[in-house]
């Protein structure tokens, strides 16, 4: 599939799913992208190609608009890859692109208290949902990291985080014993093969799960709020800030007694 064909497919989807203002926002930008890569195969476009294109398009734009253009391309590739069942990773997920086009938000963030998070987790309907919530709130994993976990990435209390946001090939995180036991039992019960995703869901499904549980308690919450809670709770329990904030800190000495071992 060429970029031109992919954009046509994406636009047909948008015509029936998004507002006119969103269509307008994507319009000229996608036209410019098509003009640049029209005959290129989708699978041939690299993170480097996208980075150069975005720098040329957004050089004089504000930080927020630069981030918007990056997010739009990411949404485009996500849709095309999923709809066309392409066996590739979204090139926009490269760590260097995320950091280059990251938005800066200065709004104060509300940190959920432990009692609220506990009740949200306890109100989850099944083992799968509870594990997803606990891996974020107790272990500090990003939702993308949770959803990308394969059965082979789980070994005792150890989790192998493949292609983390830091841009490294892999990182290691650790779980509390009770979560590790439940996760292992869940994988065994489902009779998963090593390459099977533990949680074969999309981000939207998990976001709806989290927001739905929050609404029951009259709390506005997103998946990232659970990860943020994990970091804050670890800090309040004496884990040094340099360990919590350090992307390299996923090792037994760093997270094994901190964020990833909350009760």
Q: What is the mean pLDDT of each run of 10 residues along the chain (263 residues)?
A: 95 89 91 94 95 89 89 94 92 91 68 85 91 90 92 94 76 89 96 96 92 90 85 46 40 36 36
Residue 249's pLDDT is what? 43
Q: Which domains does the chain have, with CATH numbers?
A: 3-100 (1.10.150), 114-261 (1.10.443.10)
Q: Are 209 and 132 in contact (CB under 8 A)?
A: yes
User: Which two tokens mark 173?
Assistant: 């995180």
Distance CA 148, CA 146 (A): 6
Calculate Rg over the CA atoms of the chain: 20
| pTM of the model as a whole | 0.52
Residue 63's pLDDT is what? 85
Distances (CA, A) of 180 to 139, 219, 257: 10, 28, 15
Edge-to-edge strand list for the sheet holding 158-162: 154-155, 158-162, 170-174
Residues facing residue 155 across a β-bridge = 158
């Amino acid at each position: 599939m060429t970029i031109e064909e992919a954009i046509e497919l994406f636009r047909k989807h948008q015509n029936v799913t998004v507002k006119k203002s969103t269509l307008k926002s994507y319009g000229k930008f996608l036209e410019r992208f098509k003009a640049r890569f029209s005959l290129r195969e989708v699978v041939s476009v690299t993170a480097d190609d996208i980075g150069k294109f975005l720098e040329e398009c957004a050089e004089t734009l504000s930080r927020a608009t630069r981030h918007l253009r990056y997010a739009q391309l990411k949404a485009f590739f996500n849709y095309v890859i999923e709809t066309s069942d392409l066996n590739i990773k979204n090139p926009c997920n490269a760590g260097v692109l995320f950091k280059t086009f990251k938005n800066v938000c200065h709004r104060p963030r509300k940190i959920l208290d432990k009692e609220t998070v506990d009740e949200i987790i306890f109100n989850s309907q099944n083992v799968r949902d509870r594990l997803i919530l606990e891996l974020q709130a107790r272990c500090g994993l990003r939702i993308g990291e949770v959803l990308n976990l394969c059965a082979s990435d789980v070994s005792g209390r150890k989790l192998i985080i493949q292609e983390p946001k830091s841009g490294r090939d892999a990182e290691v995180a650790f779980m509390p014993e009770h979560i590790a036991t439940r996760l292992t039992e869940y994988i065994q019960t489902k009779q998963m093969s090593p390459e099977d995703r533990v949680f074969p869901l999309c981000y939207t499904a998990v976001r709806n799960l989290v927001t739905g549980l929050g609404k029951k308690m009259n709390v506005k919450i997103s998946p990232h709020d659970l990860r943020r809670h994990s970091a804050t709770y670890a800090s309040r329990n004496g884990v040094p800030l340099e360990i919590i904030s350090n992307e390299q800190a996923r090792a037994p000495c760093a997270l094994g007694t901190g964020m990833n071992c909350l009760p």
